Chain A
């Protein structure tokens, strides 16, 4: 049996027994399905009821199931403008490959380190940006594992439904810190106001309690100049001159006091430092084209709790991010042995067992592991 047939067969068996919950307004969404070649090979589908969709899944056993962020009047119509968009959720795609994690495995593989990185970034996206800055409620969000290398966040709030693509791109830029203009954050005070805590002339800027990027920059600078690893953090933030770093570290308590009052004269190498910390605080959104997923309301994203054709793992809805284990809580298949031939494959942990690395091996693996290696394209079912 070729790998694709094998996956279809197992996925079909899975969907015959398991029915992924359908999203709100499912009949107004556009659906798309993928095969071994493309994650979205067929699109412009629409289903009136959950049953209709579930029958389709059990019959066709698609390797990837996605639906649109947008709601349409005519979700199956083509070309796109004929669909007549009614609204669209705000969606984010955080993919380990875009987050700059330096893993030793090939780019299409996954490991605990890169999955952890995409998890931290997802938490930061929500806790540092969507909730405090955008005032969005967690009740109106859904987080799901993508099924492979990252996470998807969907915001259903009414506030976001009518945003056009330009507005969505602006949100991406906000979160990614694109276009930060330090000139807007700082000014030179020439006035002397004795009562003011920031009395005196000189560079004035944000304080740690300011909102948005203002406070975020001030707080990040404070985090960077303090602690036992301040030297390393300053270097990472772009202060390459050792003397400058030492000057900052030696004066850290005084600088902290000054920044709390919005005075920035004492900070040497300010521009480098700010650029460095801004980069560190931004969330790298997994986007091929600068906000391509978030910025495009027509985008199709994996159906939560459906199978991912590149791993056989479930794109699980995540209730508690902290305790979520993407290589354990997402396992859909069982333990029954499946014989596979593997030419060359890195190792993978599934629950508490590590499988591989394998070179020229023919062996029996538990079904879930066998499906993982076959789906990754490194194993042949025998």
Chain B
């Protein structure tokens, strides 16, 4: 068992095997406190850091696993996403130190099948694990015969994203009494390191249809929003007169928020003059929350805001 590897990549199956060997006994209060500390430090600092070696390698693997257990029991998507992002960043910093062989090993652990010379990845895997950034747009990639060519550095970024997805996937868990105590103190500490609610929207918020209110709520809570949810919310806001910069900022609390990318998307949507889709489409995207028997969210907003309804073609 390579303890160093397990500590550096605690989401790996090797690390899981190690934990199984250690056994599943009730964790001590100190171990839980250490795990909570790991979460707070991950959320407090946006910079990746190489794991300190003061504590034993084994206890690092344990603190990672217990941190995930605490997050699963907390059920706070925003905190869990931020934790997953930070831990994945640590892992990619380690990969850059450890070199290409380790990258391939960790990639394999995460279900990424890499073809060699040149490094290549099937397009479906590329799409699943590419970071949501302009530089990873597939349109600018070397895609041939169903495979995207990658540089070593790009592969590390993809492995980081795959690690983020694995770390962030938390099955719900009932907390033990010991965990409950640690969680309540953890919540207090986290309140100090998480951002303030997003700015109020300078538009008649009272007139928003239920689906938009629910999307705004997700945005405000920072709970994960899918592509369609983000698209619908941004386009709705643009359609009622928001500036692209304000629409982009709505997603500031998303764990994968990238200001540049979000701005690009919002400006693109504004430029293309995308229209808010009707209720049937919103429903088919799984975003309809109220079945309010109207034609489109925009029509409902116009009515509620007292604006003249758009004329229907004769």
Distance to closest chain A CB from B132 (angstroms): 8
The stretch among B1-9, B92-100, B140-148 that forms the contact with chain A is: B140-148
The stretch among B57-65, B81-89, B122-130, B306-314 that forms the contact with chain A is: B122-130
Complex Cα gap A212–B140 (Å): 8
Q: Does A177 contact B (CB under 8 A)?
A: yes
A181 and B140 contact, CB distance less than 8 A? yes
Q: Does A214 contact B (CB under 8 A)?
A: yes
The stretch among A3-11, A104-112, A162-170, A251-259 that forms the contact with chain B is: A162-170
A174 and B124 contact, CB distance less than 8 A? no
Q: Does B283 contact A (CB under 8 A)?
A: yes
Question: What residues of chain B lie closer than 8 Å to A290, measured between beta carbons?
Answer: 272, 274
Restricting to A170-221, which residues have a CB under 8 Å from any CB of B? 170-171, 173-174, 177-181, 184-185, 210-214
Chain A CB within 10 Å, residue with most, of B134, B139, B144, B277 = B139
Complex Cα gap A166–B277 (Å): 17
Question: What residues of chain A lie closer than 8 Å to B227, measured between beta carbons?
Answer: 164-166, 169, 295
Question: What residues of chain B lie closer than 8 Å to A166, measured between beta carbons?
Answer: 127, 132, 226-227
Distance to closest chain A CB from B260 (angstroms): 13
The stretch among B37-45, B193-201, B238-246, B284-292 that forms the contact with chain A is: B284-292
The residue that A80 contacts in the complex, of B128, B140, B283, with Cβ under 8 A, is: B283
Q: Does A40 contact B (CB under 8 A)?
A: yes
With A166-B226, A211-B144 as given contacts, are A134 and B139 in contact (CB-CB < 8 Å)? no
Q: Does B51 contact A (CB under 8 A)?
A: no
Q: Does B305 contact A (CB under 8 A)?
A: no
Complex Cα gap A288–B286 (Å): 19
Q: Does B137 contact A (CB under 8 A)?
A: yes
The residue that B137 contacts in the complex, of A81, A159, A173, A299, with Cβ under 8 A, is: A173
The residue that B124 contacts in the complex, of A80, A167, A169, A214, with Cβ under 8 A, is: A167
The closest CB in chain A to the CB of B122 belongs to A159
Complex Cα gap A162–B128 (Å): 9
B122 and A174 contact, CB distance less than 8 A? no
Q: Does B173 contact A (CB under 8 A)?
A: no
Complex Cα gap A163–B127 (Å): 8
Distance to closest chain A CB from B279 (angstroms): 12
Q: Does A160 contact B (CB under 8 A)?
A: yes
A79 and B140 contact, CB distance less than 8 A? no
Q: Does A289 contact B (CB under 8 A)?
A: yes
The closest CB in chain B to the CB of A168 belongs to B127
Question: What residues of chain A lie closer than 8 Å to B145, measured between beta carbons?
Answer: 132-133, 135
B138 and A171 contact, CB distance less than 8 A? yes
Question: What residues of chain B lie closer than 8 Å to A213, measured between beta carbons?
Answer: 139-140
A136 and B146 contact, CB distance less than 8 A? yes
Residues 262-298 of chain A: 1 if any B CB is under 8 Å from the residue's CB, otherwise 0?
Answer: 0000000000000000000000000011101001101
With A170-B127, A290-B274 as given contacts, are A80 and B286 in contact (CB-CB < 8 Å)? yes
State the majority secondary structure of interface residues on B.
mixed
The residue that B143 contacts in the complex, of A79, A177, A211, A295, with Cβ under 8 A, is: A211
Question: What residues of chain A lie closer than 8 Å to B284, measured between beta carbons?
Answer: 43, 80, 296, 298-299
Residues of A within 8 A of B (CB-CB), count: 43
Question: What residues of chain A lie closer than 8 Å to B254, measured between beta carbons?
Answer: none
With A80-B283, A135-B145 as given contacts, are A180 and B124 in contact (CB-CB < 8 Å)? no
B286 and A179 contact, CB distance less than 8 A? no
A132 and B144 contact, CB distance less than 8 A? yes
A181 and B134 contact, CB distance less than 8 A? yes
Question: What residues of chain B lie closer than 8 Å to A164, measured between beta carbons?
Answer: 128, 226-227
Distance to closest chain A CB from B5 (angstroms): 29
The closest CB in chain A to the CB of B230 belongs to A166
Complex Cα gap A310–B27 (Å): 67
B146 and A134 contact, CB distance less than 8 A? yes
Restricting to A283-340, which residues have a CB under 8 Å from any CB of B? 288-290, 292, 295-296, 298-299
B139 and A174 contact, CB distance less than 8 A? yes
Complex Cα gap A340–B187 (Å): 74
Restricting to B85-115, which residues have a CB under 8 Å from any CB of A? none
A159 and B146 contact, CB distance less than 8 A? yes
Distance to closest chain A CB from B224 (angstroms): 12
A173 and B226 contact, CB distance less than 8 A? no
The residue that A210 contacts in the complex, of B128, B142, B286, with Cβ under 8 A, is: B142
Distance to closest chain A CB from B129 (angstroms): 10
Question: What residues of chain B lie closer than 8 Å to A133, measured between beta carbons?
Answer: 143-146
Question: What residues of chain B lie closer than 8 Å to A80, measured between beta carbons?
Answer: 283-286
A160 and B285 contact, CB distance less than 8 A? no
Distance to closest chain B CB from A266 (angstroms): 24
Mind listing 12 A-B residue pairs with CB under 8 Å? A80-B284, A162-B128, A165-B226, A165-B228, A167-B124, A173-B138, A179-B139, A184-B135, A214-B142, A289-B274, A289-B275, A296-B228
